[in-house]
């Protein structure tokens, strides 16, 4: 049975043939505008509520909800109707709230540094499964208004193009989240970027670059072998020309891998002509990748090099690491992200932040929040 947010307005009307039109609208508004489950739509007659509970079922069943030590980040682990699991992250800021949604259960792109990539691909998410993550986060964010949606959870949104795009349209039209506050992040699916450029709604585009020469990017991001940098930059240029929206390059700084002056120069050569903004984030540790994030001094130096080359860069706050909710850590497992002993020894040497031993962790190490 499709989830409540996979039911269109016409389908809802057909589900309620005996009801007057205003009732269908009432149900629709209850669901989309107020985020109510049918059982909580107290302005409906009781028998109708009960009937609707059998047809407008939630697609997401909460398995676990973790809140970071500073209360500003919430991560959900959801179970879908077929038993697959996905995660969603809500980040609160003083004046806004952003939800990071999954677009697929798992991911087939195989980036070795990413926990989702390490776990492999399960299946595409439906439109309703994507939308419902936003509806749930909107409820939790109250009294703050959920203002921004980023497709930076599990999965590659442009490898689930049609459903991702339908979800964007519904968020814009039915939930009142302007496309200008929606960011689609891609590892570089060139045909998908070209399609995005032709859509009517202007979303922000984030490209996860991580390396600015093919030889290195082929290693870090396997999809680069199919869509090398020259093609990718051409598609980014088309997107900019068509949409005029902000383009950003995501760069996970990996110690001794992509954090040298040479890397900064190569990145600037790509970013400068496109006016792209660079988001730097020290790599978050994951169980399957034996390399650490660049230490703080290295991050600052990299940012300064970019600045000298005329490229604006922001160091992204590392949210929710203590609940394994940070970028790249989503793996839909209940256990915390653990580091293997070798990695822990290196972390100790480089001064990376490690928390105290976790009782349920085999290696005894969990990550602590770095702010
Ligand atoms: N598949 C899309 C969107 C989901 S990944 C993409 O790759 O863009 C969201 C972001 O997390 C991407 O920028 C990705 O490169 C980044 N990421 C993945 N693993 C990471 C890690 N271990 N540390 C920091 N960022 C990571
Ligand atoms: Fe997939 Fe993005 Fe992770 Fe690469 S970084 S494996 S594309 S989710």
pTM of the entire predicted model: 0.90
User: Ligand 2 in contact with 299 (CB < 6 A)?
Assistant: no
Among protein residues, the one with the nearest Cα to ligand 1's atom 9 is: 152
Q: Which run of H or E residues covers position 174?
A: helix 161-174
Within 10 A of 83 (CB to CB), how many other CB atoms are there?
A: 8
Closest residue to atom 21 of ligand 1, CA basis: 328
How close is the Cα of 156 to the center of ligand 2, in Å? 6
Determine the pLDDT at residue 326.
Answer: 86
> What pLDDT score was predicted for residue 355?
30
pLDDT score of 348: 55
Active site residue 327: yes
Q: What is the pLDDT of residue 317?
A: 80
Active site residue 87: yes
Ligand 2 neighbourhood includes 107 CB (under 6 angstroms): yes
- pLDDT tens per residue, range 191-243: 999 999 999 999 999 999 999 999 999 999 999 999 999 999 999 999 999 99
The topology under which CATH files domain 61-357 is TIM Barrel (3.20.20)
Q: Closest ligand 2 atom, CA of 154?
A: 8
Which atom of ligand 2 is found nearest the CA of 159? Answer: 7
Q: In terms of residues, how long is the chain? A: 371
For residue 282, list its beta bridge partners: 253
**What gap in Å lies between CA 170 and CA 302, rounded to an integer?**
39
Per-residue DSSP letter, 177:
-
Of 136, 169, 327, 334, which one is the catalytic site residue? 327
Per-residue pLDDT, 139: 95
What residues of the chain score a pLDDT lower than 70? 333-371
Confirm or reject: Cβ of 116 under 6 Å from ligand 2: yes
- Domain residue ranges in the chain: 4-55, 61-357
Residues with Cβ within 8 Å of residue 54, at least 6 apart in sequence: none
332 Cβ neighbours under 8 A, 6+ residues apart? 77, 85, 86, 87, 105, 106, 119, 154
Instruction: Tell me how far the alpha carbon of residue 159 lies from the centroid of ligand 1, in angstroms.
Output: 15
Active-site residue (options: 33, 87, 100, 215): 87
Q: Is the CB of 111 under 6 A from ligand 2?
A: yes
| Distance from chain centroid for Cα 11 | 29
Instruction: Indicate the class that CATH gives domain 4-55.
Output: mainly alpha
Could you tell me the sign of the dihedral formed by the alpha carbons of 246, 203, 220, 213, in that order?
Answer: negative
- Would you give the distance in Å from CA 136 to the centre of its chain? 15
Pairing between β-strand 247-253 and β-strand 204-208 as defined by DSSP bridges: parallel
């Amino acid at each position: 049975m499709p989830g409540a947010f996979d039911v269109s307005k016409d389908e809802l009307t057909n589900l309620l043939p005996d009801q007057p039109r205003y009732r269908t609208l009432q149900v629709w508004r209850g669901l989309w505008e107020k985020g109510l489950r049918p059982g909580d739509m107290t302005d409906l007659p009781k028998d109708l509520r009960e009937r609707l509970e059998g047809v407008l079922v939630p697609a997401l069943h909460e398995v676990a909800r973790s809140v970071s030590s500073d209360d500003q980040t919430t991560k959900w682990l959801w179970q879908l109707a077929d038993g697959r699991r996905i995660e969603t992250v809500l980040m609160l800021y003083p004046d806004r709230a952003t939800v990071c949604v999954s677009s697929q259960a798992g991911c087939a792109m195989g980036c070795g540094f990413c926990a989702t990539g390490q776990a492999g691909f399960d299946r595409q998410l439906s439109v309703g499964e994507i939308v419902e993550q936003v509806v749930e986060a909107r409820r939790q964010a109250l009294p703050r208004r959920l203002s921004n949606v980023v497709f930076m959870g599990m999965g590659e949104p442009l490898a689930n193009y049609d459903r991702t795009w339908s979800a964007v349209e519904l968020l814009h039209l039915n939930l009142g989240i302007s496309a200008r506050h929606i960011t689609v992040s891609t590892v570089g699916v060139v045909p998908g970027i070209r399609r995005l450029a032709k859509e009517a709604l202007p979303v922000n585009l984030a490209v996860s670059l991580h390396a600015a020469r093919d030889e290195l990017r082929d290693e870090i991001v396997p999809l680069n072998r199919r869509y090398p940098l020259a093609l990718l930059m051409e598609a980014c240029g088309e997107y900019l020309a068509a949409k005029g929206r902000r383009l950003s390059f995501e760069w996970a700084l990996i110690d001794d891998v992509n954090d040298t002056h040479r890397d900064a120069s190569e990145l600037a050569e790509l970013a400068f002509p496109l006016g792209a903004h660079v988001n730097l984030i020290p790599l978050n540790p994951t169980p399957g990748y034996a390399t650490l994030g660049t230490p703080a001094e290295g991050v600052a130096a990299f940012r300064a090099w970019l600045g000298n080359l005329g490229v604006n860069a922001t160091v992204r706050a590392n949210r929710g690491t203590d609940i394994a909710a940070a970028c790249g850590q989503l793996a839909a497992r209940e256990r915390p992200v653990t580091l293997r002993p070798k990695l822990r020894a290196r972390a100790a040497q480089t001064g990376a932040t490690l928390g105290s031993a976790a009782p349920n962790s085999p290696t005894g190490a969990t990550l602590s929040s770095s702010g």
